[in-house]
Structure 1
Amino acid sequence: MNSDLPRQKIIDGAITVLLEKGVAGSRMNDFVEASGLSKGGVYHHFASKEELLIGVLSSFTDSIISRINMEADPKQSATKQLQALLENHQEVLIDMGQYNQLFLDFFAQARFLPRFHALMREQYDLFHKQLAELITLGIKQKEFHPKTDADAIASGIRGVFDGIGIALSIVPEKIDFPRYAIDSAMTLLKGIAR
């Protein structure tokens, strides 16, 4: 039997449990029950709740990264590349929207789980780095003001997505998701345009 199949079954069951009970309210026994596997089968793949959370997050991020990961191309407009990156991110947001509350829970609980926190930070840093590299390219190409702080703008764009995610969980009827996030991010870029 393919060892990835039981592992994916455990992850899928864990996602269901996490959406229902949240990170803090879920226990390994809940994950075992949801997987349909034996306790030993689950622990064979994931020795702890933190390892299982890492497996869940990795499952999401592997899918997301393959869709939004791009290298800056110095021969193309930085603005157009940023727009393409944000549009790819928009598609991911739409597809992953049903998991918004789970991601917010991940943010809240990460500080209590050091290795899980490190993985979240790695993913966060990857998107920030992509944004900052493209903004820096735009400065070099004279598309953006020369005194633009690429890290500050990248953080602002990242903050827009995080803020929209929070607002979506509180007042979903007030949020045109994901259009508000993309429009706000593009407005930040227009503000630094030459």
Structure 2
Amino acid sequence: MASPHRSTQARRRVGRPSGPTEHGAASRERILDAAAAVFAQVGYDRARMADVVEASGMTKGSVYFHFESKEALAVAVLTEKHAQWLDRVQARLATAPPGLQRMEALLPAMLDLHRADPDAWVISRLAQNLAEVPATRNLATALTRRWIDRVADLVRDAQHLGEVSDEVDPQLLATVLVGAFDGLKTTIGTVSDDPHAADQQLEACGALLLAMMRSVALSR
């Protein structure tokens, strides 16, 4: 008769791995990329786990091994893609001098990154979708606040350098900029089916936001 200790070891061998593996991490990333593409195409509400399974090219069991529900998958996509997005924006901004020039570099950097990575818009839409789901509302709100805080820091840096008026509320300006930018793609997408025309409209709206940012600058 097998001892309880030996039986426990056997169960561990046939169960899930005790820690992440290189193959497992690659599979998880593949699922996240597929999910981001599906959410971008049909939206969170209409997306099905079956769509993600098909887009990933993996088995249903493999997908559910990593994510037990669409909600869990959306949370992972939002959290990890949002972190990647912030890192990319920060890397672009680091090439510009601190202060007003870095503030002015923000919108062009965001526009360029969104053009290069269509999944970037998924972050904005997912955050809006998940903010309406009670179980994920706090996460969506926290990620949006994190982004607003990053932009507010740019405004404060410019104020410390004497390039932006101290009368400007950094948090309020950042909230307006982030909210306006997040709403641009959704709004423009509803009035134009032509990608080129939509891109031109997006560029024009970005120029308006940039002009608003410059309006708070002190004379140099």
TM-score scaled by length of structure 2: 0.72
Pair 1:148–1:112, CA change in 2 (3 A): closer
The corresponding residue for 1:121 is 141
Give the drift of 1:37: 2.7
> Which runs of structure 2 are paired with 1:44-193 in the superposition (5 Å)?
44-69=65-90, 77-97=98-118, 100=121, 102-103=122-123, 105-114=125-134, 116-172=136-192, 173=197, 176-193=200-217
Q: Which has the higher contact order (CA 8 A, sep 6+)?
A: 1
Cα distance in 1 between the residues matched to 2:55 and 2:134 = 25
Cα distance in 2 between the residues matched to 1:193 and 1:20 = 39
Question: 3-state SS of the aligned residue for 1:176?
Answer: helix
Cα distance in 2 between the residues matched to 1:137 and 1:99 = 26
Pair 1:16–1:87, CA change in 2 (3 A): closer
Query: Quick check: which one's helix share is greater?
Result: 1
Cα distance in 2 between the residues matched to 1:81 and 1:120 = 26
Q: Deviations over 1:24-43 (max 9, x none)?
A: 12222332333333332212
Cα distance in 2 between the residues matched to 1:140 and 1:54 = 37
Question: 3-state SS of the aligned residue for 2:23?
Answer: coil
Q: Is the 8 A contact 2:38 2:47 kept in 1?
A: yes
Cα distance in 2 between the residues matched to 1:135 and 1:174 = 29
Q: What count of residue pairs does the alignment treat as equivalent?
A: 190
Cα distance in 1 between the residues matched to 2:179 and 2:172 = 10
Structure 1 unmatched ranges of 5 or more: none
Pair 1:48–1:151, CA change in 2 (3 A): same
Cα distance in 1 between the residues matched to 2:198 and 2:111 = 18
1:14 aligns with 2:35: yes
Structure 2 unmatched ranges of 5 or more: 1-21
| % same residue | 23
Cα distance in 1 between the residues matched to 2:24 and 2:114 = 30
Q: Is the 8 A contact 1:14 1:56 kept in 2?
A: yes
The corresponding residue for 1:24 is 45
Cα distance in 1 between the residues matched to 2:217 and 2:42 = 45
